[in-house]
Amino acid sequence: MDREERDVKAGLIEETQRKDATRGKASPLRLTPARKQVQQQKSTEEWSKVLEEPVSISPELSSWIKANANELKLPQTDRRWAAEVVNDFRDNLVKFLRSSSDQPFFQSADFLTTGSYFEKVKIHSPDEFDMMLKLQAPSRFNMKELDEGLFYQIDLVRPTRGPIQVFLLENGLTLSSSKILSETFRLVRKFLKNYKVPDEGCRWEVNRKKPGSPAVTLSLFRIDMYSDELISLDLVPALEVHSSQGWPLPVRNGPDVDNWLGKKVRKEITNLPCYFVPKRMKGRNLSGEAKESWRISFSHVEKKIITSHGNKKTCCEGKANKCCRKRCLMLLKSLIEGLKQRFPKELDPLCSYHGKTAFLHMLSIRFDDSMWALQQLPACFLLLLGALEAHTRAGVLPHFFAPNYNLFSGAVFPRKAMSFLLHALEEQRREGLPLLKPPAPVSPLCNFVKGISDESFSLPPSPADSPSSLSPSLSPILTSSSPLSANKLVRRDWRESEPCSLTTGVPQVSALGPLCFSDTATDKPSILTAVSSLDTALMKLVLVLVAVFVCVLLCTL
């Protein structure tokens, strides 16, 4: 495409962004049934286009997708060490809660492992874990729907004098999500005062509470004062509603898995307990009860259907029956991670759960195992990417378990960010998916575990971004003796000062990926080299000052 055509297209994109932004501002938070039906029809039309269009893929792109899929597997050594540390924390916390007398409601607590690591779709490094702390609820609740089947107000059927009463609002019936979360923070901090990590060189720290987050987030650090985070653990208190009460009415039918997993499995799923996590719904001028809302969680069901994902029981039981479903999800997670690293502000609402939801919808439509044969990985991934594009273009991504809730609604995903995401996805497809392998810094966990086993550490070069294929001025940065700090320098640079199109303001993506800069930023490598040299000089100066201080201290003694 020549420059004139690019300028014309850029102008069209800019106009689309302006219209989308204006339309987003005028949209109400809740759609009328008529508008919702129009949106769903538009989404269905986009879906049909994706499934009907033949997938054309070049040999180079096919090889690039396969190569990246093979590199997403977690290192076995890292997995073993991380699992040992996290399991020890979990087991000892349960013992502490059950023996603690100052909070009886938490004495029956137990853990439910969830998230990408336990679904076996974690990518790059086992440095993030999710766990639900199950809290046994009284026999029955009143679950009042607040927002399209995803957020609820939880009320007791009748007043109680049991241990749960300290977490009720003034009306004596409504269960406070903020009180439960605050008490979880307090108990975890109290537990850590006397807890020691199996690896004596590490320590757990509780992070500051994030607005809108239902989790107590902990970080594992080395004892060193300036250590990088090795592991992040999200501990989410979850209120368990017994299966005898059933799921709330808006989600009682269960997910659309009849053709994929069968009606029997759907019935098994809806017979499972449901869980509520203390997450407040978005919105202004909320009532006192709405501020104490709970979000229904299906993490345990997601784990079940992703680990047992086949249309037939023989799926993935042997090499001959291997499918590419999980690999497609891992590739999409990697692409989303790359997009968020490159455009952190523009794509702030985007998260991996959007990709996971599009993936689950795709599985329910392309349900036969033969459609996901391992050798069809490149084509299947491009279909999944096309599905996410279709959802973005239509502005409709129904929650897989609460279909009335739109994850792409203007209230939670602004139209400006939606338009930007659509153009970013289209650009990635056009440029050959350069961000499929995001230039994330080497995980400190990998470095730390390799140090434990006395193995030498080196940064594996990307097949597309090896130092030999980059400009000479960038090669010293990538082959630095400190790969972690070097990657952070590069990452900080392309985050803060991307070359942008004059018409759209959209950062330009080079076909070689984020580490290859466009011609409009030829001075960046020299700037990065200068910053790296400055950091080295400052470090030497600090060491000299410390040595002088120690000498003076010894002399005075």
- pLDDT (tens digit per residue) in 314-363: 898 887 889 999 999 999 999 999 999 999 999 999 999 999 999 999 99
- The encoded tokens of residue 89 equal 């924390």
For the chain, percent of residues with pLDDT exceeding 70: 72
Structural domains present in the chain: 11-73+311-436 (1.10.1410.40), 76-299 (3.30.460.90)
Residue 33 near residue 148, CB atoms below 8 Å: no
Residue with the larger pLDDT of the pair 450 and 284: 284
Of 201, 202, 203, 236, nearest to 217 (Cα)? 236
- pLDDT (tens digit per residue) in 245-259: 889 999 999 999 999
Strand stretches in 82-127, DSSP E? 110-114
Q: What is the mean pLDDT of the chain?
A: 78
Pairing of strands 274-277, 294-297: antiparallel
Assess whether pLDDT exceeds 60 at residue 207.
Answer: yes
Confidence of residue 372 (pLDDT cuts 50, 70, 90): very high
Assess whether pLDDT exceeds 60 at residue 97.
Answer: yes
Return d(Cα 74, Cα 254) in angstroms, integer. 32
Of 216, 227, 198, nearest to 84 (Cα)? 198
Confidence of residue 62 (pLDDT cuts 50, 70, 90): very high
Region of residue 148 (phi > 0: left; psi between -120 and 50: alpha; otherwise: beta): left
**In 284-376, alpha helices (H):** 299-307, 325-342, 352-365
| Mean of pLDDT values over 83-94 | 94
Assess whether pLDDT exceeds 60 at residue 134.
Answer: yes
Confidence of residue 77 (pLDDT cuts 50, 70, 90): confident
Element (H, E) at 128: strand 128-136
Q: Which of 6-20, 414-428, 519-533, 536-550 has the lowest mean pLDDT?
A: 519-533
Query: Tokens 């990635």 identify what position?
Result: 428
Assess whether pLDDT exceeds 80 at residue 9.
Answer: no
Confidence of residue 262 (pLDDT cuts 50, 70, 90): very high
- pLDDT (tens digit per residue) in 466-478: 333 333 332 332 2
For the chain, percent of residues with pLDDT exceeding 90: 49
| Mean of pLDDT values over 121-131 | 85
| Mean of pLDDT values over 156-160 | 88
Assess whether pLDDT exceeds 50 at residue 366.
Answer: yes
